[in-house]
Amino acid sequence: MFGKAKNCWLIVGLGNPGKEYAATKHNCGFRAIDLIAETLSCKIDKAKFQGLYGQTTYQGTKLYLLKPQTFMNNSGRSVVQLSAYFNIPPQRIIVLFDDISLEPGRLRIRGDGSAGGHNGIKSIIAELGSQDFPRVKIGVGAKPHKDADLANWVLSGFTAAEEKALAVSLKNAADAALCIVEKGVYEAANRFNGSHP
């Protein structure tokens, strides 16, 4: 299935479709990939593969930008369809998503790893049959207390102060994804891990 694509990457932003979810913690991946699209003058408006996607180039490299429309828990269905169609291996699939273990404003770049409790990543790992894909984790802050409902937390919004910090980290997340494409995960991690406004 994989191995035919040359110099081609897929960047995925995770979130839930619908205006009611647009400003929630779970939709940071959508917001970050929108910034990449804006930077590269790319429209993410092709409806296929159970998602919305766009195609562009960056530094001579072909990029596909994808926003799965399956809702978060089934994100992998969209990712595997597009990556299989264009023969993009997991190692060249970058996923941007929210992380409750990091405070707003902070990022963490990883080259691979487990789902860490994130249902969107869990779905992608299950569908790809691999966890060897780079990811950019965008901090959204921990639950206010251990008994708080996680689903309610990630579907809630941000305070004004958090939004200010988030604006910087979303831009950094977009830049980090493009840095991975151009210079690799190691360089991106050195530059952006732990970044804070």
Question: Would you name the residues annotated as active-site residues?
Answer: 26
Residue 6: its H or E element: none
Cα 77 from Cα 118, distance rounded (Å): 15
Helices assigned H by DSSP within 40-100: 75-85
The sheet carrying 51-58 orders its strands as 46-48, 51-58, 61-68, 8-13, 93-99, 135-139, 107-110
* CB-CB contact of 107 with 136 (8 Å): yes
* CB-CB contact of 51 with 69 (8 Å): yes
* CB-CB contact of 98 with 29 (8 Å): yes
Cα 141 from Cα 179, distance rounded (Å): 25
